[in-house]
Structure 1
Amino acid sequence: MDGRAARETPVHLRLTHRGRVVFGTIGTLLTAGVLALLAALGATSASASAEQSEQSFSTVVAAPGDSLWGIAESLDPEGDPRDLVAELVTLNGMDGSGVQAGESIAVPTRYADAPGVIPAQ
C-alpha cells in the first residue's frame, strides 16, 4: 500500500464566476417562487374577505342615547357585554365604540331573533 494515499490533502472547492451566477439565479428563483406563493395565498384570503363582506347581516339602528354597551346588553342580557362590544366593533370596522343616533350596526347572525334587530334582507 502506498503511504501517500493516507497523507493527501483535502480538496478545496472553488466557485467560478459562472458557478456564483448559477447559485445566485437558483436563490433568486426560489425567493421569487416563495413570494409568488405568498401573494397567491394573500389574494385567496382577500377574495374570501370580499365574499364575507357581501354577506347580509341583521342590523340594529342606534337610538338617541344608545351606546354599544347598551346594545350589547339588550342583545345578550346573560352574556358579558365586553365580548359582544368587541365583536360589534370588529364586525362593523369601527375605530372606537361610539355610535350615532340612526346609525345601522350589523350584529352577528346568532342575535337575529333578539328584540330590536332588523333581519337581513
Structure 2
Amino acid sequence: MARWRERRALARVRRRSAPPLRLTRRGRVVLVAVVALLSLGGFWLGTRAVGQAAVQVVVTSHVGLPWVEVREGDTLWAIGEALSRGDDPGPVVEEIKRLNGLSGSLIRPGTRLYVPSDTAALR
C-alpha cells in the first residue's frame, strides 16, 4: 500500500513539473494558415449555398400594361427618367424591376420591358 502512495505522489510531482505546451514559430504559422483556410472555405461554401437557394419571382399579369423595347445604350435609370418626367425616377425604376421580375439593373437590347401604366409620360 505504501508503494502505491509513493507512485501516486511521484506522478503528481511529474505532472506539476511538466513544462506548458509551447508552439514554435512555424507551428503558429501553420495554425494560423489552417484557421484562415477553414474560414475561407466556410465563406466560399456559404456563398455557393446562397447562389443555389431557390428564388421565386412573383410577376403580376402584364395584360394591358404598356411596354418599351430596350435599345443599345438604354439603362433602367434612363427609362425611369423618361417615364417620370421630372419626378424622382427611383420609384419608377423599382416598379419596372418588380413588373419584369428583375433582380438587378442589367437589361439587354431587344428586351421588352413592361412599365407601370400610371407614369407621367403616359398620361
TM-score normalised by structure 2 residue count? 0.47
Q: Which has the larger radius of gyration?
A: 2
Structure with larger RCO (C-alpha < 8 A, sep 6+): 1
